[in-house]
Structure 1
């Protein structure tokens, strides 16, 4: 995202739009991962954990979206917090889109089979990133200016 956008006054509607867009990408990644998990007899522990973390990330995002919708747009505290949050939302969305594309690209539609595109070390890093995003978004919920 352009650094210029982060210097503009924050609009709760814009922030809500960012959260909704990320929620949509997370939902698509959940769906793609579930397609894979349901096509194998025994999903590996890391694959299940990845799916669980994706699903868990939707909880603080849904709560943030609800909190933002009730925000006072003129609050300067809200504006500062929202600018910081938008950067994290953008990073998370970029990661989730990349993961979702990689999973979708490996779906063999002719045979209905999915080839898992991630190796264990890479998947462990992805799971850690998802956990970090959850912490960021849960911390954002603790801000009393929403």
Structure 2
């Protein structure tokens, strides 16, 4: 995508590209329902998708995918796929993603176009920015 297309992403423009690291620290339930801690490596890819039109609403977005592996292991222990979206008309950033354990999230928040940091929210049961999960979770 051309530089103008990336600029239209507002505060999300700096995310475009591929990001990798191996300094992750995960704390999660162990098999015996205690707690285990693991180091991990992660790769996140953000690819611009251009404009998404929804009648008068115009969103500019990034398709993204996250894959995380425990250090020394070939199979991933966590994955996400989804979109980060910028709504310049409403000054809203949206993050919508799914996790292959039966979880779907739509988080959002009001963000200035030149912001370098921001907070998004999602709440279980919300009809707008919410979290939906399978019965087990």
TM-score norm. by structure 2 comes to 0.25
Query: Structure with the greater relative contact order (CA < 8 A, sep ≥ 6): 1 or 2?
Result: 1
Q: Identify the structure with the greater strand proportion.
A: 2
Q: Identify the structure with the greater helix proportion.
A: 1
TM-score norm. by structure 1 comes to 0.24
